[in-house]
Amino acid sequence: MTDEAAEFGSEMRQFRAELREFRDENDRLLSAIRAHLAGLRAQFDEGFRRMDERFRDLLDATAVCQSKVAEILARLTGGQGHVPNVPGRRTLG
């Protein structure tokens, strides 16, 4: 019975060692995945920041264009809200 107990003890030590190796490898893999996800998150954040910046630039440019169009229309209408009959002006209809 002593040999069986010794053999069982040896198998348990081997099992614990294998379990420890598995746990350590699992920890390394999870750390690598976590680091990779953190890098992806940083890339996404930077990409969205750049998109937001470009979108705001486009909105600013659109606002400037609309302001210019409004100024031109105001000059054409004399501030009255309608375009006067100008010779040579095309009309719809």
- Residue listed under structure tokens 């002593």: 2
H-type alpha helices, 1-93: 2-77
E strands in the chain: none
Q: What is the pLDDT along the chain (93 residues), one digit of tens a residue?
A: 688 888 899 999 999 999 999 999 999 999 999 999 999 999 999 999 999 999 999 999 999 999 899 888 888 877 666 655 656 656 554
Q: Where does residue 48 fall: left (phi above 0), alpha (psi -120 to 50 degrees), or beta otherwise? A: alpha
| Percentages of the chain per state (helix, strand, coil), in multiples of 5 | 80, 0, 20
Instruction: Read off the pTM.
Output: 0.49
| C-alpha torsion angle, residues 29, 30, 33, 35 (rounded to 10) | -110
78 within 8 A of 84, measured Cβ to Cβ: yes
